Amino acid sequence: MRVTKLITFIIQFSTIGLAAAFLILYFQSSNNDNLSTSSQSNAEIVELIETTRTSTSIPHKSYAPAVKQAAPAVVNIQTTKTITERQHPLANDPLFQQFFGDSIGEPRKRMESSLGSGVIASPQGYILTNHHVIKAADEILVALKDGRSAKARVVGTDPDTDLAVLKIDLENIPAITLSRTDELEVGNIVLAIGNPFGVGQTVTSGIISATGRNMLGINTFENFIQTDAAINPGNSGGALINSFGELIGINTAIYSQSGGSQGIGFAIPLSLAKNVLTQIIEFGHVKRGWLGIAIQDINPELAESFAMKKIYGILVNGVAKKGPADKAGIKPGNVITHINDNEVANTQHLLNLVSQVNPGKTISVKGINQKGRFSTEATVIQRPQQEK
């Protein structure tokens, strides 16, 4: 009897033990499976984040797509003009004529060619370039990247910004894409496309080194983009594009002691070039207000002599007779401090403020003269075009 109970107890204990062991193994296996699944999910998330970081930190492996988009719209410009050489200074001397005859005094003419670049700004064939590229040209030939060429006519020029607009008549003209934003930041990658030294279309890269460069003495109205992308003779009038192939400026000038690129190049920003382009197409010239004054910046000595607490405004050096300033009673020696309640910072600032006013509009002018503060009104007129 006792043996039977003992056997029954052993069997029950063994059964309970096996059941417990099975349950422990089952739950341990489930936990391992869950842990494995969780680890795999975490690995996928980390990989996704790393891929995202890589793709955003290196936006471009190559700028070939940008160049492929913009390059067809950048053209080579060849100009030809007739140069008349002055006669010899002794040509009118009777003794000189006795030996060499009258033919020595006849002026000689020769043909001179030069090369530059341009940017096709619209499918209608309007081309932006520099004024100095086509100045005094008798004939202008435009060569496209696809091998076609055409004679161009001058629609209009603006020497004050060193811009000119040309027109060609061809079918299926490739036009560049204009940047939709004026937000240019120092450090942005840029590419310069042009025809340096006449070797053919060339692309160079760099960054925006500075914006808003002025007071350089290059143009009357200056607001340059500075870049270290190589710009050389022949690049003038070519395109400065961003990394998406959009036009942001027209290459214009370089600072160089050797004549070649030294990492300081200047481009006219698209905002200014676009305004000149649209006005020339519409009116044939650029409409700008003009006061008819010669001006200079205020220095500390001048500010002290006028009892000015800070240095601002401009000094009037000269006044055009019967011009807007003359009619408004502004005299040489006056200091202009405000235009339409805008405080004038310097000469460039005043030029910009007045030029933005449409001819025929009246502006308020405030300043200082020998009697103290003065206020007057002047009706601006069309700014005379300066030939350069």
SS (H, E, C) 182-198: CCCCCCCEEEEEECHHH
**In the CATH scheme, what is the homologous superfamily, with its name and number, of domain 177-283?**
Trypsin-like serine proteases (2.40.10.10)
Q: What are the residues whose beta carbons fall under 8 Å from the beta carbon of 209, sequence distance 6 or more?
A: 186, 226, 227, 228, 264
What is the rounded distance in angstroms from the CA atom of residue 59 to the CA atom of residue 274? 28
Domain chopping of the chain, boundaries: 1-58, 68-167, 177-283, 289-382
Q: Is 79 helix (H, G, I), strand (E, B) or coil?
A: strand
Query: Tokens 């059941």, residue?
Result: 19
268 SS3 class: strand
Whole-number pLDDT of residue 39: 38
- The dihedral built from the CA positions of residue 355, 357, 361 and 363, taken in this order, carries a sign that is negative
Tell me if residue 162 is catalytic: yes
Residue 355 to residue 351: CA distance in whole angstroms: 6
Distances (CA, A) of 74 to 27, 28, 146, 358: 72, 71, 11, 33
Distance CA 195, CA 227 (A): 17
- The model carries a pTM of 0.75
Which residue of the set 117, 131, 160, 162 is catalytic?
162
Q: Is 204 exposed, middle or buried (0-12, 13-18, 19+ CB in 10 A)?
A: buried
Indicate which residue of 114, 117, 131, 132 is catalytic: 132
* Catalytic option among 117, 236, 261, 355: 236
Sign of the dihedral defined by the CA atoms of residues 361, 362, 366, 372, in that order: positive
Asked if 251 contacts 196 with a C-beta cutoff of 8 angstroms, the reply is: no
Per the DSSP assignment, residues forming a β-bridge with 165 are 128, 156
Amino acid letter, residue 303: A
CB 364 within 8 A of CB 341: yes
Catalytic residue check, 88: no
Same fold, 68-167 and 177-283: yes
Integer Cα distance of 237 and 248 in angstroms: 13
* Active site (annotated) includes residue 131: no
Closest CA to 188 of 166, 213, 210: 210
From first to last of its 388 residues, the chain has per-residue pLDDT tens of: 444 554 454 455 555 555 555 544 454 544 444 433 333 444 334 333 333 333 334 456 789 999 999 999 999 999 998 877 666 565 666 665 655 555 555 667 777 888 999 999 999 999 999 999 999 999 999 999 999 999 999 999 999 999 999 999 999 999 999 998 777 899 999 999 999 998 999 999 999 999 988 888 888 888 899 999 999 999 999 999 999 999 999 999 888 766 667 789 999 999 999 999 999 999 999 999 999 999 999 999 998 888 888 999 999 999 999 999 999 999 999 999 999 999 999 999 999 999 999 999 999 999 999 889 999 999 999 998 766 5
Res 17: pLDDT: 55
68-167 maps to which CATH number? 2.40.10.10
Architecture of domain 289-382: Roll (2.30)
